[in-house]
Structure 1
Amino acid sequence: MFIQTIKRFIEKFQLFQKGDRVLLGVSGGLDSVVLLETLYLLKKEYNLSLFVSHYDHKIRRDSYKDALFVYQLCKERKIPFFYTASSVPAYAKREGLSLEMAGRELRYNLWYYLAKKYDFQKIALAHHLDDLAEEIFMKLIKGTGKRGLAGIPVKREDLIVRPLLFVTKEEIKKFALERGLTWREDETNKDLRFLRNKIRHILIPFLENNFNKKIKENIRKTAFLIAEEEELIEELAKSKFEEIKFYLEGEVALKLHELKQIHPVLRKRIYFLAFKEAKIPLFRITYPHLENLENLITKKTKGPIYLPGNFLAYRGPGYIIFTKKLFSFPYFEIVVSKEGEYLLPNNRILKVFRAPFTKDFIKPENSMSFPAERLTFPFIVRRKKPGDKIYIPSLGHKKLKKFFLEKKIPHYLREDILLIEREKEIVGVWNLYIHPEYEITDKTKELIILQIK
């Protein structure tokens, strides 16, 4: 009966395709053990290749026993096993996160990495109806929008799937006992310091006993209806995102004029797609982050907007860009005396090399090119300093500060723009300016290329 129910969910939501390579997140607890058993029983029917990932959070001293238990389950079923361990408490402290959020962020980062490296078509997780109810109440308590009321999606990005989402903990346990399964008990699930556990052990039982015994079932119906609408909105957001996104020196950017024309509800969904593309931690995004971005769009604030994971968003001329937070360094000079690689203060590499110049020459990403006969060694790569000027034909020398203002370069970016200097003359401002005597012409045969990696 249980297996048939799960099969109906798999078919209804098209969770698997024949021949999928599936990575299962298995902690060793009741839910994940049942997930493993269920997909193992359905393996032949869907022609699935199963793999298991176990993440040791190093919260409990005996957590290694969970890993050994899961390893034994995999060994008995001849399923490949991935074991990963790291200290979630240390990561939580370093990043200023709760233990629950830190653990979730590390697990998902691992699963996405494994899926990409080993070509897994699906990542199967063991969330169930009780988890769905708990998630919705957590979001209501903390404050949420309609998206939050949808709870945990049964399918996300066509990668994350949750085959057990619409069965209860009680049904899962009954199946486990019928199959004679054993599992590990995690004592932290009873720790009332965690909000989720308070909801699980106090709030939901209270509501069931005093208001409605079928509250979980009603939540399932409501969440399912909202989730259908969410899927439509998400598809619209993806379509618009593809229209207005572009890359600026490898960073994700959005066309500002087009972004302004989009309804604010859809615009906020597009921000999430940009966050994901830029690898900004989605679990840490809060409502104020979205409001700050809206204010940046409407010019209520100049920015930049600081985002989780050491990222920021700022306005450029005609765009919004999402990038790693930039740090200013003390003044520096690097003498480039020959071809090779030079370490910049931000730990990125400046590669200097020669290349022939032909009509079909394609400029390398994040680089500047000069005629080799003009930019000869040695020359200097440095940060700006007070009094810097550049030469403009017919105008003479112009202060670099005024040049940046005209180019609408935000003040917080100017300190990190590289200058190329030869014989005490600025011959290049990174991807903004080249001295007229150092421009590429039809007579140029060889280039000196500077590329940041």
Structure 2
Amino acid sequence: MINDGDRIIIALSGGPDSITLLHILHTLKNKLNITIYAAHVNHLLRGKDAYKDEELCKKYCDELGILCFVKRVDINQLAKIKNISHELAGREASYEFFDELMKKYNCNKIAIAHNLNDQAETVLMRMMRGAGIEGLVGIRPVRDNIFIRPLIEITRNEIEKYCEENKLPAAIDKTNFENIYARNKIRLELIPYMENNFNKDIIHTLNRMSNIIREDNDYLEEISDEIFKKYCYRKDDRVIIYKDAFKEHKTIITRVLRKAILQIKGDLYNIENSHIIDIIKLYNQNTGKTIMLPDSLMVDNVYKDIHIYKEMKNHNTNIYEVIPFNDEFYCEKLHTKIITKVLHKNNNDVNLKDSDMIKYFDFDKVKDNIILRYRKDGDRFTSLGMKGSKKLKDLFIDLKVPRHERDIIPLICFGNEIGWIVGYRISEKFKVDNNTERILQICIER
């Protein structure tokens, strides 16, 4: 949890828990060879009491010779703007502040003063919300090798006793005793009732249960990581989950899906189990189906592979560029250079080796300008070797081109006729044959 040379920011509220944590780490800092700082976020929610807590933190840190950073955030206003709870807004504001300080002062860990009672309350709260085993793990002692909770095995009574014995100036948050919040009701009513009627050691019992569940959960996470590496990959703005992943046990695939969402979204806020079930249902439907998840997440069924990505708004589909002959042209919108050359077939230096990005056409069959554009309604195309034309939309389906890619595939056109679906096919109408005398070479560089 704490290593030699660590630089730690202590989340300091001014309450008994965080003051105890500050005092303990300050006492042990030379022995552990660590550097500590304190960070206090004033949420401006409790009137004068909030400012008293702020002053207490600054004064006590000053007495200990610890640098204390303070930030004031109007959590009430922030919650309204983001349309989230005060609790979530407060957490986001605090963690954003901690992140700023970590970068500025080259710190590597954040110490948070959660205790054993907090763990029990969290487990009970999640249990009543129907959480899976991942939720019943509760508060992890160490998360991401950054967030550490040194007091997680210590009860609230032990912390209060420590404060009393060491005469620590801890503030008491009066709202902790207001019986109006779910967590407060668990703390003030449910746990005392369970202690008096079922198990006087319920706090330790719940902690022991969460530790057992954590071991099982960590094992499942290891398996899920292996499956994710085997069947999932990141491509540009999306994570693609191959269909074979869905042959795995439901417990595993649900975790794999959460990992994929986490990669795209950055967190799992607003993602519920019902959304994971919706993705599994989508997999069992026909290709081409799409669902939307919270925070503009899109999920596509692409021939049984599942694509998860952020919805792209205001994509520019109006590209229309006239490409000069025997010249180089740079398309800013595509960040692409297009090189055109007119070659004579009887020239011994002509080498017609094409690739996905180099194609050849009969120059004398090209009767109009070279146009670069995206697809439009009504487009038809005659593939090389075919006699009749086909709707471009149907051709994309035949080629199993994912729906999200169809609107952003460049088309090289000669007037109104499509000559080249870049990366896929060239047209029969403009092919080089035995009668060709002049050849148009088009090269695309990205």
Q: Same fold (TM over 0.5)?
A: yes
Q: Deviations over 1:48-82 (max 9, x none)?
A: 23244434444445546544544444455454555
The one of 77, 88, 96 equivalent to 1:101 is 88
The one of 287, 290, 304 equivalent to 2:276 is 290
- Structure 2 residue runs of 5 or longer lacking an equivalent are 324-328, 340-355, 364-368, 432-438
Q: 1:287 deviation in Å?
A: 1.6
Q: 1:302 deviation in Å?
A: 6.8
* 2:222 corresponds to 1:231: no
Determine the structure 2 residue equivalent to 1:389. Answer: 380
Determine the structure 2 residue equivalent to 1:363. Answer: none
Q: Secondary structure at the match of 1:253?
A: strand
The one of 373, 378, 392 equivalent to 1:400 is 392
Q: Secondary structure at the match of 1:282?
A: coil
Call closer, same or farther: CA 1:91–1:270 in 2, change over 3 Å: farther
Alignment of 1:279-358 (within 5 A): 279-299=265-285, 303-317=289-303, 319-327=305-313, 332-333=318-319, 339=330, 341-342=332-333, 350-352=334-336
Q: 1:288 deviation in Å?
A: 0.6
Call closer, same or farther: CA 1:256–1:172 in 2, change over 3 Å: same
- Structure 1 residue runs of 5 or longer lacking an equivalent are 1-14, 343-349, 356-367
Contact (CA 8 Å) 2:10, 2:22: kept in 1 or not? yes
Q: Secondary structure at the match of 1:22?
A: strand
Determine the structure 1 residue equivalent to 2:5. Answer: 19
Call closer, same or farther: CA 1:445–1:392 in 2, change over 3 Å: closer
Contact (CA 8 Å) 1:370, 1:448: kept in 2 or not? yes
Contact (CA 8 Å) 1:417, 1:429: kept in 2 or not? no
Q: What is the distance in 1 between the residues matched to 2:316 and 2:64?
A: 59
Q: 1:270 deviation in Å?
A: 2.1
Amino acid at match of 2:40: H
Amino acid at match of 1:392: S
The one of 222, 233, 256 equivalent to 1:270 is 256
Alignment of 1:190-229 (within 5 A): 190-229=177-216
Q: What is the distance in 1 between the residues matched to 2:74 and 2:322?
A: 43
Q: Secondary structure at the match of 1:392?
A: coil
Q: What is the distance in 2 between the residues matched to 1:286 and 1:352?
A: 41
Call closer, same or farther: CA 1:52–1:278 in 2, change over 3 Å: farther
The one of 251, 254, 261 equivalent to 2:238 is 251
Call closer, same or farther: CA 1:219–1:305 in 2, change over 3 Å: same
Q: 1:214 deviation in Å?
A: 1.6
Q: What is the distance in 1 between the residues matched to 2:90 and 2:6?
A: 27
Q: Deviations over 1:144-176 (max 9, x none)?
A: 222322222222233332111111111112212
Q: Deviations over 1:348-382 (max 9, x none)?
A: xx534589xxxxxxxxxxxx9678x99xx995555
Q: What is the distance in 2 between the residues matched to 1:80 and 1:426?
A: 67
Amino acid at match of 1:351: H
Determine the structure 2 residue equivalent to 1:132. Answer: 119
Call closer, same or farther: CA 1:146–1:323 in 2, change over 3 Å: same
Call closer, same or farther: CA 1:306–1:195 in 2, change over 3 Å: farther
Determine the structure 1 residue equivalent to 2:132. Answer: 145
Q: 1:32 deviation in Å?
A: 1.9
Q: Secondary structure at the match of 2:140?
A: coil
Q: Secondary structure at the match of 2:125?
A: helix
Q: Deviations over 1:115-138 (max 9, x none)?
A: 578664433221111111111111
Q: 1:216 deviation in Å?
A: 0.8
Q: Deviations over 1:369-424 (max 9, x none)?
A: 678x99xx995555x4321234521226432211232244565x368535445544
Contact (CA 8 Å) 1:55, 1:107: kept in 2 or not? yes
Contact (CA 8 Å) 2:383, 2:425: kept in 1 or not? no
Amino acid at match of 1:417: I
Q: What is the distance in 2 between the residues matched to 1:140 and 1:241?
A: 28
Q: What is the distance in 2 between the residues matched to 1:369 and 1:68?
A: 66
Determine the structure 2 residue equivalent to 1:33. Answer: 19
Q: Secondary structure at the match of 1:218?
A: helix
Question: Which moves more between the two structures, 159-168 or 71-80?
Answer: 71-80
Question: Which moves more between the two structures, 391-400 or 156-165?
Answer: 391-400
Q: Please tell me whether Structure 1 or Structure 2 has the larger radius of gyration of its CA atoms.
A: 2
Q: Secondary structure at the match of 1:123?
A: strand
Contact (CA 8 Å) 2:383, 2:426: kept in 1 or not? no
